[in-house]
Copies of this chain bind each other. A is one copy, B any other.
Amino acid sequence: MSQSTEQKFMNLLKEQASYEEAIGLMAWDMRTKAPKKAIDPRSEVIGVLSQKVHEIQTSEKMKEYLAALTGTSTAPMVIKAVEEARETYERTVKIPKEEYREYVTLQSKAESMWAEAKENNDFKGFQPYLEELVSYNRRFADYWGYDNHKYDALLHNYEPGVTVKVLDEVFPKVRKALTGLLEQIKGAPEQPDPSLLGGHFPKESQEAFSYEILKRMGYDFDAGRLDETVHPFAIGLNSNDVRVTTKYDEKDFRTAVFGTIHEGGHALYEQNIDPSLAFTPLATGTSMGIHESQSLFWENFVARSKPFWQNHYDLFKSHAPERFSSINLEDFYKAVNEVKPSLIRIEADELTYSLHIMIRYELEKALIGGEIEVKDLPGLWNEKMRDYLGIIPQNDSAGVLQDIHWSGGDFGYFPSYALGYMYAAQLHHTLKQEIVFNDVIRKGDFKQIQQWLTDRIHKFGKMKKPLEIIHDVTGEDLNPNYLVTYLTDKYQEIYKF
Protein backbone atom coordinates (compact mmCIF):
# COMPACT_ATOMS: atom_id res chain seq x y z
CA MET A 1 0.00 0.00 0.00
CA SER A 2 1.55 3.29 -1.01
CA GLN A 3 1.58 6.16 1.44
CA SER A 4 -0.30 9.36 0.79
CA THR A 5 1.72 12.53 0.39
CA GLU A 6 0.31 13.71 3.67
CA GLN A 7 1.57 10.57 5.40
CA LYS A 8 4.99 10.96 3.80
CA PHE A 9 5.09 14.58 4.89
CA MET A 10 4.20 13.65 8.49
CA ASN A 11 6.87 10.95 8.45
CA LEU A 12 9.46 13.46 7.29
CA LEU A 13 8.43 15.81 10.12
CA LYS A 14 8.72 12.91 12.53
CA GLU A 15 12.22 12.20 11.33
CA GLN A 16 13.13 15.84 11.85
CA ALA A 17 11.51 15.91 15.30
CA SER A 18 13.44 12.77 16.22
CA TYR A 19 16.78 14.40 15.44
CA GLU A 20 15.70 17.48 17.34
CA GLU A 21 14.73 15.39 20.35
CA ALA A 22 18.11 13.63 20.30
CA ILE A 23 19.86 17.01 20.01
CA GLY A 24 17.77 18.28 22.91
CA LEU A 25 18.77 15.39 25.13
CA MET A 26 22.43 15.86 24.23
CA ALA A 27 22.14 19.56 25.05
CA TRP A 28 20.50 18.84 28.40
CA ASP A 29 23.16 16.24 29.16
CA MET A 30 26.03 18.62 28.28
CA ARG A 31 24.69 21.16 30.74
CA THR A 32 23.90 18.78 33.58
CA LYS A 33 25.61 15.39 33.46
CA ALA A 34 28.22 15.01 30.73
CA PRO A 35 31.84 14.63 31.84
CA LYS A 36 34.22 17.45 30.92
CA LYS A 37 36.01 15.67 28.11
CA ALA A 38 32.74 14.69 26.42
CA ILE A 39 31.84 18.26 25.53
CA ASP A 40 33.95 18.64 22.36
CA PRO A 41 33.14 15.31 20.69
CA ARG A 42 29.48 15.65 21.66
CA SER A 43 29.37 19.09 20.02
CA GLU A 44 30.51 17.43 16.80
CA VAL A 45 27.69 14.91 17.05
CA ILE A 46 25.21 17.72 17.63
CA GLY A 47 26.67 19.39 14.54
CA VAL A 48 26.05 16.29 12.42
CA LEU A 49 22.44 15.95 13.60
CA SER A 50 21.75 19.68 13.22
CA GLN A 51 23.04 19.49 9.67
CA LYS A 52 20.57 16.65 9.11
CA VAL A 53 17.69 18.77 10.41
CA HIS A 54 18.74 21.57 8.10
CA GLU A 55 18.88 19.15 5.16
CA ILE A 56 15.36 17.89 5.85
CA GLN A 57 13.95 21.39 6.27
CA THR A 58 15.32 22.43 2.89
CA SER A 59 15.08 19.12 1.05
CA GLU A 60 13.60 18.60 -2.38
CA LYS A 61 11.19 16.14 -0.78
CA MET A 62 10.01 18.82 1.64
CA LYS A 63 9.56 21.27 -1.21
CA GLU A 64 7.55 18.73 -3.17
CA TYR A 65 5.30 17.76 -0.23
CA LEU A 66 4.66 21.40 0.64
CA ALA A 67 3.69 22.19 -2.93
CA ALA A 68 1.41 19.16 -3.10
CA LEU A 69 -0.22 19.75 0.28
CA THR A 70 -0.82 23.47 0.19
CA GLY A 71 -4.55 24.04 0.12
CA THR A 72 -5.44 20.36 -0.08
CA SER A 73 -5.84 19.27 3.52
CA THR A 74 -8.76 20.22 5.71
CA ALA A 75 -7.30 18.93 8.96
CA PRO A 76 -6.27 22.01 11.02
CA MET A 77 -3.16 20.26 12.35
CA VAL A 78 -1.94 19.41 8.86
CA ILE A 79 -2.70 22.91 7.59
CA LYS A 80 -0.68 24.47 10.40
CA ALA A 81 2.16 21.97 10.06
CA VAL A 82 2.38 22.76 6.35
CA GLU A 83 2.39 26.50 7.12
CA GLU A 84 5.10 26.08 9.72
CA ALA A 85 7.29 23.85 7.56
CA ARG A 86 6.82 26.13 4.56
CA GLU A 87 7.91 29.16 6.47
CA THR A 88 11.00 27.37 7.73
CA TYR A 89 11.71 26.10 4.23
CA GLU A 90 11.37 29.52 2.66
CA ARG A 91 13.40 31.38 5.26
CA THR A 92 16.13 28.77 5.27
CA VAL A 93 16.61 28.47 1.52
CA LYS A 94 16.86 32.24 1.21
CA ILE A 95 20.25 32.12 2.91
CA PRO A 96 22.98 30.88 0.56
CA LYS A 97 24.33 27.56 1.83
CA GLU A 98 27.95 28.67 1.91
CA GLU A 99 27.09 31.82 3.83
CA TYR A 100 25.12 29.84 6.39
CA ARG A 101 28.00 27.43 6.90
CA GLU A 102 30.43 30.31 7.48
CA TYR A 103 27.95 31.88 9.87
CA VAL A 104 27.69 28.71 11.99
CA THR A 105 31.48 28.60 12.29
CA LEU A 106 31.55 32.28 13.19
CA GLN A 107 28.89 31.79 15.87
CA SER A 108 30.84 29.14 17.68
CA LYS A 109 34.09 31.11 17.42
CA ALA A 110 32.38 34.32 18.55
CA GLU A 111 30.87 32.65 21.60
CA SER A 112 34.23 31.60 22.90
CA MET A 113 35.75 35.00 22.07
CA TRP A 114 32.91 36.65 23.95
CA ALA A 115 33.52 34.45 27.00
CA GLU A 116 37.18 35.45 26.91
CA ALA A 117 36.39 39.12 26.40
CA LYS A 118 33.93 39.11 29.29
CA GLU A 119 36.48 37.40 31.50
CA ASN A 120 39.13 39.99 30.62
CA ASN A 121 36.88 43.02 30.32
CA ASP A 122 38.08 43.38 26.73
CA PHE A 123 35.35 44.70 24.45
CA LYS A 124 37.90 45.50 21.73
CA GLY A 125 38.84 41.81 21.57
CA PHE A 126 35.23 40.88 20.91
CA GLN A 127 34.42 43.83 18.62
CA PRO A 128 35.53 42.37 15.25
CA TYR A 129 33.46 39.22 15.85
CA LEU A 130 30.42 41.20 16.86
CA GLU A 131 30.85 43.37 13.77
CA GLU A 132 30.83 40.31 11.57
CA LEU A 133 27.78 38.88 13.35
CA VAL A 134 25.92 42.16 12.88
CA SER A 135 26.80 42.31 9.21
CA TYR A 136 25.60 38.73 8.65
CA ASN A 137 22.35 39.54 10.42
CA ARG A 138 21.84 42.70 8.37
CA ARG A 139 22.24 40.58 5.24
CA PHE A 140 19.95 37.84 6.56
CA ALA A 141 17.31 40.49 7.23
CA ASP A 142 17.62 41.59 3.60
CA TYR A 143 17.30 38.00 2.37
CA TRP A 144 14.22 37.43 4.50
CA GLY A 145 12.68 40.79 3.69
CA TYR A 146 10.61 43.24 5.79
CA ASP A 147 8.09 46.01 5.34
CA ASN A 148 9.29 48.85 7.51
CA HIS A 149 12.42 48.16 9.50
CA LYS A 150 15.28 45.75 8.84
CA TYR A 151 15.10 44.65 12.46
CA ASP A 152 11.54 43.38 11.92
CA ALA A 153 12.96 40.51 9.88
CA LEU A 154 14.94 39.37 12.95
CA LEU A 155 12.16 39.98 15.47
CA HIS A 156 10.09 37.61 13.36
CA ASN A 157 12.37 34.70 14.37
CA TYR A 158 11.39 35.04 18.00
CA GLU A 159 8.04 36.82 18.08
CA PRO A 160 6.21 36.62 14.76
CA GLY A 161 3.74 39.45 14.40
CA VAL A 162 5.59 41.84 16.67
CA THR A 163 7.42 44.65 14.85
CA VAL A 164 9.44 47.76 15.56
CA LYS A 165 6.23 49.70 15.11
CA VAL A 166 4.57 47.75 17.93
CA LEU A 167 7.56 47.90 20.23
CA ASP A 168 8.20 51.59 19.63
CA GLU A 169 4.67 52.22 20.74
CA VAL A 170 4.59 50.10 23.88
CA PHE A 171 8.15 50.24 25.21
CA PRO A 172 8.35 54.06 25.73
CA LYS A 173 5.02 54.02 27.58
CA VAL A 174 6.21 51.29 29.87
CA ARG A 175 9.61 52.90 30.28
CA LYS A 176 8.09 56.17 31.32
CA ALA A 177 5.88 54.48 33.87
CA LEU A 178 8.70 52.34 35.23
CA THR A 179 11.20 55.15 35.62
CA GLY A 180 8.48 57.16 37.32
CA LEU A 181 7.75 54.32 39.71
CA LEU A 182 11.44 53.92 40.35
CA GLU A 183 11.67 57.55 41.41
CA GLN A 184 8.73 57.16 43.79
CA ILE A 185 10.15 53.97 45.24
CA LYS A 186 13.51 55.61 45.90
CA GLY A 187 11.91 58.26 48.07
CA ALA A 188 9.20 56.06 49.56
CA PRO A 189 8.56 56.03 53.33
CA GLU A 190 8.57 52.26 53.64
CA GLN A 191 11.71 50.35 52.57
CA PRO A 192 12.10 46.54 52.60
CA ASP A 193 15.04 45.02 54.41
CA PRO A 194 16.58 42.37 52.14
CA SER A 195 19.34 41.68 54.67
CA LEU A 196 16.71 39.53 56.43
CA LEU A 197 17.04 36.98 53.64
CA GLY A 198 20.82 36.51 53.77
CA GLY A 199 22.94 33.91 55.49
CA HIS A 200 23.63 30.26 54.85
CA PHE A 201 20.72 28.21 53.47
CA PRO A 202 21.64 24.54 52.91
CA LYS A 203 21.30 23.32 49.35
CA GLU A 204 19.35 20.21 50.38
CA SER A 205 16.67 22.36 52.03
CA GLN A 206 16.36 24.59 48.98
CA GLU A 207 16.10 21.48 46.85
CA ALA A 208 13.36 19.96 49.01
CA PHE A 209 11.32 23.16 48.90
CA SER A 210 11.83 23.50 45.14
CA TYR A 211 10.55 19.96 44.55
CA GLU A 212 7.55 20.64 46.73
CA ILE A 213 6.59 23.83 44.91
CA LEU A 214 7.05 22.30 41.46
CA LYS A 215 4.72 19.48 42.46
CA ARG A 216 2.13 21.93 43.76
CA MET A 217 2.31 23.92 40.52
CA GLY A 218 1.20 20.76 38.74
CA TYR A 219 4.57 19.90 37.24
CA ASP A 220 4.49 16.18 36.44
CA PHE A 221 7.61 14.44 37.74
CA ASP A 222 6.66 11.33 35.75
CA ALA A 223 7.23 13.46 32.67
CA GLY A 224 10.23 15.44 33.84
CA ARG A 225 12.98 15.88 36.41
CA LEU A 226 14.87 18.56 38.29
CA ASP A 227 18.66 18.85 38.09
CA GLU A 228 21.39 21.29 38.95
CA THR A 229 23.27 23.38 36.42
CA VAL A 230 25.26 26.61 36.07
CA HIS A 231 22.84 28.59 33.88
CA PRO A 232 19.35 27.25 34.65
CA PHE A 233 16.94 26.37 31.85
CA ALA A 234 13.93 24.19 31.09
CA ILE A 235 13.87 21.98 28.04
CA GLY A 236 10.98 20.12 26.45
CA LEU A 237 12.24 17.02 24.63
CA ASN A 238 8.65 16.01 24.09
CA SER A 239 5.55 16.66 26.19
CA ASN A 240 6.32 13.55 28.23
CA ASP A 241 9.87 14.60 29.00
CA VAL A 242 10.27 18.22 30.03
CA ARG A 243 13.23 18.84 32.29
CA VAL A 244 13.83 21.69 34.71
CA THR A 245 17.24 22.76 35.94
CA THR A 246 18.16 25.12 38.72
CA LYS A 247 21.10 26.51 40.64
CA TYR A 248 21.48 26.44 44.42
CA ASP A 249 23.20 29.46 45.90
CA GLU A 250 23.68 28.70 49.58
CA LYS A 251 24.08 32.39 50.30
CA ASP A 252 20.82 33.38 48.58
CA PHE A 253 17.88 31.00 48.41
CA ARG A 254 16.05 33.31 46.01
CA THR A 255 18.14 32.12 43.04
CA ALA A 256 16.88 28.55 43.34
CA VAL A 257 13.37 29.17 44.63
CA PHE A 258 12.27 31.81 42.12
CA GLY A 259 14.47 30.31 39.42
CA THR A 260 12.89 26.88 39.76
CA ILE A 261 9.41 28.35 39.70
CA HIS A 262 10.32 30.39 36.62
CA GLU A 263 11.64 27.34 34.76
CA GLY A 264 8.68 25.36 36.08
CA GLY A 265 6.41 27.84 34.31
CA HIS A 266 8.22 27.14 31.03
CA ALA A 267 7.98 23.42 31.75
CA LEU A 268 4.22 23.43 32.39
CA TYR A 269 3.76 24.96 28.95
CA GLU A 270 5.70 22.16 27.24
CA GLN A 271 4.16 19.39 29.37
CA ASN A 272 0.63 20.42 28.48
CA ILE A 273 0.85 20.69 24.73
CA ASP A 274 -1.76 18.55 23.02
CA PRO A 275 -0.29 15.06 22.49
CA SER A 276 -1.76 14.95 18.98
CA LEU A 277 0.90 17.48 17.93
CA ALA A 278 3.75 15.14 18.93
CA PHE A 279 6.57 14.70 16.41
CA THR A 280 5.57 17.81 14.45
CA PRO A 281 7.09 21.33 14.58
CA LEU A 282 3.86 22.42 16.30
CA ALA A 283 4.67 20.53 19.49
CA THR A 284 6.38 23.39 21.27
CA GLY A 285 5.63 26.83 22.67
CA THR A 286 4.47 29.27 20.02
CA SER A 287 7.09 31.96 20.65
CA MET A 288 9.79 33.13 23.02
CA GLY A 289 7.51 35.85 24.31
CA ILE A 290 4.55 33.62 25.09
CA HIS A 291 6.94 31.14 26.68
CA GLU A 292 8.36 33.88 28.86
CA SER A 293 4.85 34.98 29.77
CA GLN A 294 4.32 31.56 31.34
CA SER A 295 7.53 31.52 33.34
CA LEU A 296 7.04 35.10 34.52
CA PHE A 297 3.40 34.45 35.35
CA TRP A 298 4.42 31.77 37.82
CA GLU A 299 7.54 33.48 39.08
CA ASN A 300 6.12 36.96 39.62
CA PHE A 301 2.35 37.02 39.48
CA VAL A 302 2.05 33.86 41.56
CA ALA A 303 5.22 33.28 43.55
CA ARG A 304 6.11 36.87 44.42
CA SER A 305 2.54 37.65 45.46
CA LYS A 306 1.43 38.05 49.04
CA PRO A 307 -1.27 35.36 48.93
CA PHE A 308 1.33 32.86 47.72
CA TRP A 309 3.42 33.44 50.81
CA GLN A 310 0.36 33.53 53.02
CA ASN A 311 -0.10 29.94 51.97
CA HIS A 312 3.50 28.79 51.62
CA TYR A 313 5.50 30.65 54.21
CA ASP A 314 5.00 27.90 56.80
CA LEU A 315 6.14 25.28 54.33
CA PHE A 316 9.11 27.48 53.45
CA LYS A 317 10.02 27.91 57.10
CA SER A 318 9.85 24.16 57.62
CA HIS A 319 12.72 23.86 55.13
CA ALA A 320 14.50 27.12 55.98
CA PRO A 321 17.16 27.67 58.64
CA GLU A 322 15.94 28.43 62.14
CA ARG A 323 16.47 32.19 61.86
CA PHE A 324 13.50 32.54 59.49
CA SER A 325 11.10 31.59 62.28
CA SER A 326 11.52 35.08 63.74
CA ILE A 327 10.92 36.89 60.43
CA ASN A 328 7.27 37.80 60.00
CA LEU A 329 5.40 37.17 56.78
CA GLU A 330 4.98 40.84 55.94
CA ASP A 331 8.68 41.63 56.23
CA PHE A 332 9.58 38.51 54.30
CA TYR A 333 7.14 39.36 51.51
CA LYS A 334 8.49 42.89 51.23
CA ALA A 335 12.08 41.72 51.25
CA VAL A 336 11.59 39.31 48.33
CA ASN A 337 10.03 42.19 46.43
CA GLU A 338 12.73 44.76 46.95
CA VAL A 339 13.32 47.05 43.96
CA LYS A 340 16.88 48.18 43.39
CA PRO A 341 18.53 49.25 40.15
CA SER A 342 21.40 46.90 39.41
CA LEU A 343 23.90 46.34 36.65
CA ILE A 344 23.15 42.76 35.71
CA ARG A 345 19.97 41.88 33.85
CA ILE A 346 19.55 38.37 35.21
CA GLU A 347 19.81 39.67 38.77
CA ALA A 348 17.29 42.47 38.22
CA ASP A 349 14.06 42.78 40.17
CA GLU A 350 10.57 42.62 38.74
CA LEU A 351 10.37 46.34 38.07
CA THR A 352 13.76 47.21 36.61
CA TYR A 353 14.04 44.04 34.52
CA SER A 354 12.13 45.50 31.58
CA LEU A 355 14.35 48.59 31.58
CA HIS A 356 17.37 46.34 31.01
CA ILE A 357 15.54 44.83 28.05
CA MET A 358 14.66 48.17 26.52
CA ILE A 359 18.28 49.26 26.55
CA ARG A 360 19.21 46.13 24.58
CA TYR A 361 16.28 46.58 22.23
CA GLU A 362 17.13 50.15 21.38
CA LEU A 363 20.77 49.29 20.80
CA GLU A 364 20.22 46.26 18.60
CA LYS A 365 17.50 47.94 16.58
CA ALA A 366 19.84 50.85 15.82
CA LEU A 367 22.69 48.42 15.14
CA ILE A 368 20.77 46.34 12.63
CA GLY A 369 19.22 49.48 11.14
CA GLY A 370 22.73 50.85 10.56
CA GLU A 371 22.24 53.94 12.70
CA ILE A 372 25.03 53.01 15.06
CA GLU A 373 28.08 50.76 14.80
CA VAL A 374 29.46 48.10 17.11
CA LYS A 375 32.24 50.38 18.34
CA ASP A 376 29.60 52.78 19.70
CA LEU A 377 28.00 50.14 21.92
CA PRO A 378 29.95 50.49 25.19
CA GLY A 379 29.44 54.25 25.35
CA LEU A 380 25.76 54.08 24.43
CA TRP A 381 25.19 51.22 26.86
CA ASN A 382 26.54 53.21 29.78
CA GLU A 383 24.59 56.30 28.75
CA LYS A 384 21.32 54.40 28.69
CA MET A 385 22.06 52.68 31.97
CA ARG A 386 22.51 56.10 33.53
CA ASP A 387 19.33 57.48 31.92
CA TYR A 388 17.03 54.54 32.68
CA LEU A 389 18.47 53.05 35.84
CA GLY A 390 20.62 55.79 37.25
CA ILE A 391 23.73 53.64 37.51
CA ILE A 392 26.78 53.15 35.30
CA PRO A 393 28.83 49.94 35.04
CA GLN A 394 32.43 50.25 36.17
CA ASN A 395 33.49 48.12 33.23
CA ASP A 396 32.16 46.45 30.08
CA SER A 397 32.10 42.99 31.66
CA ALA A 398 29.36 44.26 33.97
CA GLY A 399 27.90 46.24 31.08
CA VAL A 400 27.69 45.61 27.36
CA LEU A 401 29.51 42.27 27.61
CA GLN A 402 27.27 40.69 30.23
CA ASP A 403 24.88 38.69 28.01
CA ILE A 404 25.70 35.76 25.77
CA HIS A 405 22.94 36.47 23.20
CA TRP A 406 24.76 38.73 20.75
CA SER A 407 27.77 36.43 20.65
CA GLY A 408 25.46 33.77 19.21
CA GLY A 409 24.06 36.24 16.71
CA ASP A 410 20.71 36.28 18.49
CA PHE A 411 19.49 39.74 17.57
CA GLY A 412 15.78 40.25 18.06
CA TYR A 413 15.57 37.86 21.00
CA PHE A 414 15.74 40.32 23.92
CA PRO A 415 12.38 42.01 23.35
CA SER A 416 10.59 38.71 24.01
CA TYR A 417 11.56 38.95 27.69
CA ALA A 418 9.73 42.26 28.12
CA LEU A 419 6.90 41.18 25.84
CA GLY A 420 6.49 38.08 27.97
CA TYR A 421 6.09 40.28 30.99
CA MET A 422 3.44 42.40 29.32
CA TYR A 423 1.62 39.32 28.07
CA ALA A 424 1.72 37.83 31.56
CA ALA A 425 0.21 40.97 33.08
CA GLN A 426 -2.52 41.01 30.46
CA LEU A 427 -3.33 37.31 31.01
CA HIS A 428 -3.29 37.90 34.76
CA HIS A 429 -5.80 40.69 34.32
CA THR A 430 -8.12 38.44 32.31
CA LEU A 431 -7.80 35.54 34.71
CA LYS A 432 -8.70 37.84 37.59
CA GLN A 433 -12.02 38.58 35.89
CA GLU A 434 -12.81 34.86 35.88
CA ILE A 435 -11.64 33.71 39.30
CA VAL A 436 -10.87 35.33 42.63
CA PHE A 437 -7.17 35.06 41.87
CA ASN A 438 -5.84 35.96 45.30
CA ASP A 439 -8.16 33.51 47.02
CA VAL A 440 -7.15 30.73 44.70
CA ILE A 441 -3.46 31.44 45.27
CA ARG A 442 -4.00 31.73 49.01
CA LYS A 443 -5.63 28.30 48.97
CA GLY A 444 -2.81 26.96 46.84
CA ASP A 445 -5.34 25.68 44.33
CA PHE A 446 -2.88 25.87 41.46
CA LYS A 447 -4.66 23.15 39.54
CA GLN A 448 -7.30 25.68 38.55
CA ILE A 449 -4.68 28.10 37.27
CA GLN A 450 -2.69 25.45 35.48
CA GLN A 451 -5.86 24.17 33.81
CA TRP A 452 -6.79 27.68 32.70
CA LEU A 453 -3.37 28.22 31.17
CA THR A 454 -3.50 24.80 29.51
CA ASP A 455 -6.93 25.36 27.99
CA ARG A 456 -6.17 28.84 26.72
CA ILE A 457 -2.48 28.64 25.83
CA HIS A 458 -0.47 25.47 26.47
CA LYS A 459 -2.45 22.88 24.59
CA PHE A 460 -2.28 24.79 21.31
CA GLY A 461 1.49 24.57 20.97
CA LYS A 462 2.26 26.37 17.72
CA MET A 463 -1.29 26.02 16.38
CA LYS A 464 -1.79 29.71 17.20
CA LYS A 465 0.51 32.70 16.71
CA PRO A 466 1.51 34.73 19.80
CA LEU A 467 -0.70 37.76 19.18
CA GLU A 468 -3.55 35.46 18.19
CA ILE A 469 -3.35 33.81 21.59
CA ILE A 470 -3.27 37.14 23.38
CA HIS A 471 -6.27 38.34 21.43
CA ASP A 472 -8.23 35.09 21.85
CA VAL A 473 -7.63 34.94 25.58
CA THR A 474 -7.84 38.58 26.59
CA GLY A 475 -10.13 39.95 23.90
CA GLU A 476 -7.70 42.69 22.88
CA ASP A 477 -4.31 43.28 21.31
CA LEU A 478 -1.11 43.64 23.27
CA ASN A 479 -1.82 46.28 25.92
CA PRO A 480 1.04 47.39 28.16
CA ASN A 481 -1.23 49.21 30.60
CA TYR A 482 -1.93 46.03 32.54
CA LEU A 483 1.71 45.67 33.43
CA VAL A 484 1.94 49.30 34.49
CA THR A 485 -1.18 49.05 36.64
CA TYR A 486 -0.06 45.80 38.20
CA LEU A 487 3.36 47.17 39.12
CA THR A 488 1.96 50.45 40.38
CA ASP A 489 -0.55 48.72 42.65
CA LYS A 490 1.97 46.22 43.88
CA TYR A 491 4.71 48.66 44.78
CA GLN A 492 2.36 51.29 46.20
CA GLU A 493 1.19 48.67 48.62
CA ILE A 494 4.73 47.63 49.53
CA TYR A 495 6.48 51.00 49.56
CA LYS A 496 3.50 53.07 50.67
CA PHE A 497 4.21 56.00 48.33
Contacts and interface: CB of A to CB of B under 8 A. Distances in A.
Interface in A225-267: 225, 237-238, 240-241
> Interface of chain A, helix or strand or loop or mixed?
helix
A123 B26 CA distance: 40
Interface range, A side: 35 or more
A97 to B, nearest CB: 16
B278 A240 contact: no
Contact of A223 (B38, B45, B225, B279): B38
A398 interface: no
Contacts of A98: none
Interface stretch (A27-35, A126-134, A352-360): A27-35
A162 interface: no
- Copy number in the complex reads 2
Nearest to A15: B48
Contact of A25 (B26, B40, B221, B224): B26
A14 interface: yes
A18 interface: yes
A259 B73 CA distance: 56
A229 to B, nearest CB: 14
A33 to B, nearest CB: 7
A6 interface: no
A102 interface: no
B22 A241 contact: no
A222 B14 contact: no
A409 B166 CA distance: 62
A42 interface: yes
Contact of A40 (B14, B26, B240): B240
Given A18-B49, A25-B25, A42-B237, 9 more contacts: A22-B22, A29-B29, A35-B224, A35-B241, A37-B241, A38-B223, A41-B238, A41-B241, A42-B238
